Chain A
């Protein structure tokens, strides 16, 4: 336990010093594993012998082999093939320049209200989320079209960047969703049901985000001035132009629902559909195709370097008994299932401050599933709870990936401005979390209607 905490401290030190996240995780995980591996069987990692300093060969070799096996296993894991495919789908959708039309359509309805452009941003994120499985891609894409327009209308940077960072999380709440696929694979939960279950909480989040913007701009009208009013006739015309989003959403979710393909395969089908769509719109020439593919490859490479580190580090804390201590604590609470789930949410909120969302799910879902399933907890409901809790981590300091994405897309804004802008949305997400915890039907009603 102590060594796990020392490991966490060293890790935080390294990443704040600017060591790439994946490399820091690998380094601490590897050294930690070797120390614990030797210590567990009552040996030391290093000894002074006749020949000078000697390393404990079994412990060192064990740590090295563990790292190699886990890296190889991650990078050739079928379940994770959804990552490059959903990223590629997002790249094609991005190239198709759909984001601008989504944003225009959303603004046609709400832009003229106070804070309306920020509400339009949230709605566009929701629409983009329906064809994209990642929150990072959603935040990055919408940022490019929403930020210039909100600046033009004199929106406060904190409100506009906060809305984009928070809106981006809709990318994983509204299906398709990479984290839901990972959760479903790890907990053996029906991914199709998870996808359908995400729809209502996604809409709930949109409503709560709208409310947040309304309150923020009522308190400070200068932060979000009114945009131009669009006549009703034009509004429907703008909506009709985003038919592609509807078609792709129906192909993916309908195909999963009808059992034509699995949610993992849906990623591949989605790539093909998005490519066709972008090509039909004349936005996907050879240059764009090449750019999309290379960009996807590099993003995938970066995600996997972090995943390598996450799994090596988690094996270290697993061997050191940290995971067991957490699960013993949860079992020891002797609480009813809801109490245990609430405790798990607290763990997620704390971990979410520093951990990446996928890394967190990979680390915790197998453990929590083993505790919750025997208690008869509805794993679809818990999946939605977990996704919201993990989403919060995307926008909380000190490490909130969505916030970093917005920051890197808008270089002249201070990172703390974004964090300041995002905290009202954090409260809205906490409210959504509490609603889904207390009224499980928000998550379970729609999947309950499914025939199978």
Chain B
């Protein structure tokens, strides 16, 4: 289990890194091409849009694993013992539901985009594969939250707090 997660983690980190580097590179090449060579990068912005989508969804499983989704929870910060454990399970269950919802709807969105043959405006790239990839990544995040919930129900990770991420 640990080994699988390690590999997944590495894969997701690679996706994120690659997307962000290419987004930066595209902007630099577009600007330089337009300014110095009179040759802007046709449709570079469309690729940037898709890469941002992949970045966000590749980050979901990692943020979920770290129980790092942004929370406020002023009333529940000081819970301890059994109360804290139950609170964490409830929050995890809500997380499972929300991630499953996001994954499901992205999948439906991919179907809709495929059916309507939606393509990007200037490169005419089909849009559905990216939506499909986002759906798969969201399902992965959902699976991660299911694992965390199961472990919590089995009485493991007693010391853990419920999600308490900040945007740092």
Contacts and interface: CB of A to CB of B under 8 A. Distances in A.
A binds B: yes
Contacts of B70: 20-22, 302, 305-306
A409 B168 CA distance: 9
A405 interface: yes
Contacts of A390: none
B20 A18 contact: no
A64 B105 contact: yes
Contact of A269 (B27, B45, B87): B27
Contacts of A271: 24, 27
A30 B98 CA distance: 11
A90 B165 CA distance: 19
B46 to A, nearest CB: 8
Contacts of B112: 65, 68
B167 A76 contact: no
Contacts of B168: 136, 140, 299, 405, 408-409
Residue of B69, B106, B163 ringed by the most chain A CB atoms within 10 A: B69
Interface stretch (A42-50, A108-116, A396-404): A396-404
Given A20-B165, A136-B168, A297 B108 contact: no
Interface residues of B, number: 61
B105 A81 contact: no
Contacts of A19: 71, 73, 91, 94
A267 to B, nearest CB: 7
Given A17-B73, A302-B167, A398-B72, A265 B105 contact: no
A56 interface: no
B76 interface: yes
A84 B54 CA distance: 12
Given A75-B53, A301-B55, A302-B63, A21 B27 contact: no
Interface string B116-136: 000000000000001100100
A298 B166 CA distance: 11
A275 B23 CA distance: 14
Interface string A144-173: 000000000000000000000000000000
B166 A305 contact: no
B69 A20 contact: yes
A303 B167 CA distance: 7
B82 to A, nearest CB: 16
A296 B20 contact: yes
Contacts of B148: none
A80 B16 contact: no
A76 B98 contact: no
B14 to A, nearest CB: 9
B73 A18 contact: yes
Interface string A68-104: 1101100111101100110010000000000000000
B52 interface: yes
Contacts of A88: 20, 24
Contact of A261 (B24, B31, B87): B31
A21 B167 contact: no
B140 interface: no
Given A81-B49, A261-B31, A300-B55, A15 B68 contact: no
A42 to B, nearest CB: 27
Contact of B72 (A30, A269, A399): A399
Contacts of A275: 24
Given A21-B72, A75-B56, A305-B69, A84 B23 contact: yes
Given A22-B69, A88-B20, A267 B95 contact: no
A20 B57 contact: no
A235 B165 CA distance: 39
Interface string A394-418: 0000110100110111000001000
Contact of B17 (A293, A301, A401, A408): A293
A268 B23 contact: yes
B146 interface: no
Interface string A266-305: 0111011001000000000000011001101111111111
B142 interface: no
A384 B17 CA distance: 34
Contact of B50 (A76, A401, A405): A76
B57 A301 contact: yes
Given A401-B167, A404-B166, A16 B74 contact: yes
Contacts of B102: 26, 71, 308
A272 B105 contact: no
Interface in B71-85: 71-77
A269 B28 CA distance: 6
A5 to B, nearest CB: 20
A326 interface: no
Given A269-B27, A298-B66, 18 more contacts: A17-B75, A20-B165, A26-B101, A67-B105, A68-B109, A72-B134, A77-B49, A81-B45, A136-B168, A261-B31, A265-B30, A268-B28, A269-B28, A293-B16, A294-B13, A298-B68, A302-B165, A398-B74
20 contacts: A15-B71, A17-B73, A18-B77, A20-B94, A21-B70, A22-B70, A26-B102, A64-B105, A84-B23, A261-B27, A268-B31, A271-B24, A293-B17, A297-B19, A298-B16, A302-B63, A302-B165, A306-B70, A398-B72, A401-B167
Interface of A: 15-23, 26-27, 30, 64-65, 67-69, 71-72, 75-78, 80-81, 84-85, 88, 136, 140, 260-261, 265, 267-269, 271-272, 275, 289-290, 293-294, 296-306, 308, 398-399, 401, 404-405, 407-409, 415
Nearest 4 Cβ contacts at the A-B interface: A268-B27, A301-B59, A18-B73, A297-B16
